[in-house]
Amino acid sequence: MTRIAVIDYDMGNLHSACKGLEKAGAQPIVTEDAAVLAAADAVVLPGVGAFDPAMQHLRDRDLVRPIQDIIASGKPFLGICLGLQVLFESSEEGQEPGLGIIPGRIREFQPEPGITIPHMGWNQLQLTQPDSALWRGVTSGDWVYFVHSYYAEPRDPSWTAATITHGTQTVTAAIARNNVMAVQFHPEKSATVGLRILSNFVTAVAQQSLALAW
C-alpha cells in the first residue's frame, strides 16, 4: 500500500485529510519526524490558519529544510489550502518568509460589491493544465470547496494548474509542476470530485514508486 506522510505541525484538521487519503487507497502516516517524511512514498502538507504561525511551527520543528530537500529530491508532494500558500516566497498576511519553492507571493482578496471575504463555499474549477495527473476524470466546471481570504500569485503563470473566479478576480486554485502539486481548496471536503483528485495523487505516487522499483 502507498505510504503517504502527512506533516503534523499543529495547523489544521489532520483527521479529515487522512480519512480522504485512506478512502483514496493510501496509508497515511501523521508525523513531524523528518526521517519518516524522507522514507515515505509521498508527502502531504495540509493546513488551516494563518501564514506566519504556519511557518513558525514548521521552523520550530526543524522541518523547513527537510521539506525543501524532499521536494528537490523529486518525491511527490501535495499541499492543501495553507499547505499551498506556504510553498511561496512570502504572503501579504504576514512577515515570515515562506518555503520559497514557488516564486511568487500570497495576495489578499480585494473587497468588491457582491462578494464575501473569506471566499467560503463551493466554486467551479477552470483547468489550465488539463493533462495534469491531478485532473484525470476531472473537468472544467467541476465544483470544489474553498475557505480562504488569500490566494496564490505565482510569478510564472505556468505553475497554475487551475483557476477560480471570485467576483471579478480570477485567481490560482491549484498549482502543479513535476513532483509538486498543491490545491487551495479542500479535496477532503469536496465530495466525489475531491476524492477523485486525492485518488489521482495516490495513483501517481504508486506509479512513480513502481517505476523506481524497476
Query: What is the phi-psi region of residue 45: left when phi exceeds 0, alpha when psi lies from -120 to 50, beta otherwise?
Result: beta
Report residue 65 as a C-alpha cell.
Answer: 529544510
* Active-site residue, 81 included: yes
Q: C-alpha grid cell for residue 30?
A: 501523521
29 - beta bridge partners?
5
**CB–CB of 9/58 below 8 Å?**
yes
Are the CB atoms for 68 and 98 separated by under 8 Å? no
Q: Alpha-carbon distance 163 to 127, whole Å?
A: 7
CA dist., res. 15 & res. 189, Å (int): 12
d(CA 105, CA 1): 36
**Residue tagged active-site, from 18, 32, 81, 119:** 81
Helix and strand element counts for the chain (H, E): 6, 13
Residue whose grid cell is 498543491: 182
Radius of gyration of the chain (CA): 16
188 part of the active site: yes
Q: Cell 511561496: give the residue.
A: 88
Residues recognised as catalytic? 81, 186, 188
